[in-house]
Amino acid sequence: MPVPRSASLTLAAASMLATAACAQDYFDAAPNGRAYDQSPAFAAQTRAPALLQGPELQMQVLAEGLEHPWGLAGLPDGGWLVTERPGRMRIVGADGSLSAPVEGLPQVDARDQGGLHDVSVAGDFAQTRRVWWTYAEPREGGRNATAVATGILSDDGTRMEQVERIWQQQPAWASTKHFGARIVHDGQGHILVGLGERSDPEPRQLAQDRQTTLGKVVRIRASDGAPAGAGVEGWLPEIWSIGHRNIQGAAMGPDGRVWMSEHGPRGGDELNLIEQAENHGWPLATYGTNYNGAQMGATQVEGTDQPVYYWDPSPALSGMAFYDGAMFPEWQGQALLGGLQSQSIHRLRIEGDTVTGEARHLQGVGRVREIEVAPDGAIVLITDHDDGRLIRVTPEG
């Protein structure tokens, strides 16, 4: 749905009804285009009732011409730090101005799903100018892996200074897929990083290996990358949870708990509550199937933790945020997740550990890669395309 720069698009009531109908079509669809032959482990684990309520929405394109934007972080002056997968970081001003690429970033391996990924700023950024980011780091022999770096953004916003790589995923692998790489701060001086398992059959098995960081969530000290993991004997000291496939979204909920979304194979996208020392099952347990149609593992495996919620067919979930603002009071505390394949925003009402409703908004907006909530309560998202856009979403009127 092409939208000209600085234009506003109002989604009329008819569009909202169409959205609700499409959402119900999605919930009723047979997974992977075949007869439904998998059963959830508990009620409300999938296909929650469709949420139909919600205001009419309008969109304003603040910036366009971004090449596969991936990460998004708000700045105190109302601007946004945006990463582009080929290895660039830019500032989009509150007025929509687009800066030249920030200088001083490390080299990335930008093949396929690699490149520059998530970005996060310190809570006291106005004083410290501290930034963190994740990226596909080139290693020896054509291998690569996710790395975490930090630096100080210069006062004029043109250069990253005092750059230090503080953590590396091990082992490196000759793959161009499944880097994961979302960052979330835990409020205790640490960051949790959700990591992919590199996709190929051999490294995929390492998601269950406690001596590697493929397919894991790691918890490290934000200042220097020192390990602060779950403290389980036999696990690497930074590992917080295991058994992940390709984490693409991460956010702290209103109650301080950390949630992450991840891609399943041809279905089986998951929403997981990330708690200390849990095993989320991959590749032993999954609600997805192989791309050749074969079953992959079982849906329930003893000793592994079930996803709070799963999707089948897959919307290809990406970035996420919990709504906290004044513009959409009826959405307060609800989760917003981007959909790459669904090209929409998925809104979830979560009560305790249960998803009790789901709605889809802005269908056709593009491949939503990341979502954030602006200080004034507007929803801000980026679309992952050759000509990606940064879009501000507000209620009509």
pLDDT digits (tens, 9 = 90+) for 350-362: 999 999 999 999 9
pLDDT digits (tens, 9 = 90+) for 236-284: 999 999 999 999 999 999 999 999 999 999 889 999 999 999 999 999 9
Concerning whether 263 is annotated as a catalytic residue, the answer is no
**Average pLDDT in the chain:** 91
Residue 26 has pLDDT above 80, yes or no: no
Which residue of the set 178, 280, 346, 361 is catalytic? 178
Residue 222 has pLDDT above 60, yes or no: yes
User: What is the average per-residue pLDDT within 80-94?
Assistant: 98
pLDDT digits (tens, 9 = 90+) for 270-327: 999 999 999 999 999 999 988 877 778 799 999 999 999 999 989 999 999 999 999 9
Domain with CATH 2.120.10.30 in the chain: 70-237
Please tell me the predicted confidence (pLDDT) of residue 274: 98
Please tell me the predicted confidence (pLDDT) of residue 37: 56
- The C-alpha angle 169, 173, 176, rounded to 5 degrees, equals 100
Please tell me the predicted confidence (pLDDT) of residue 14: 33
Please tell me the predicted confidence (pLDDT) of residue 266: 87
Contact call for residues 221 and 190 (beta carbons, < 8 A): yes
pLDDT digits (tens, 9 = 90+) for 141-198: 999 999 999 999 999 999 999 999 999 999 999 999 999 999 999 999 999 999 999 9
Give the CATH number of domain 70-237; options: 1.10.3720.10, 2.120.10.30, 3.30.2320.50, 2.30.30.240: 2.120.10.30
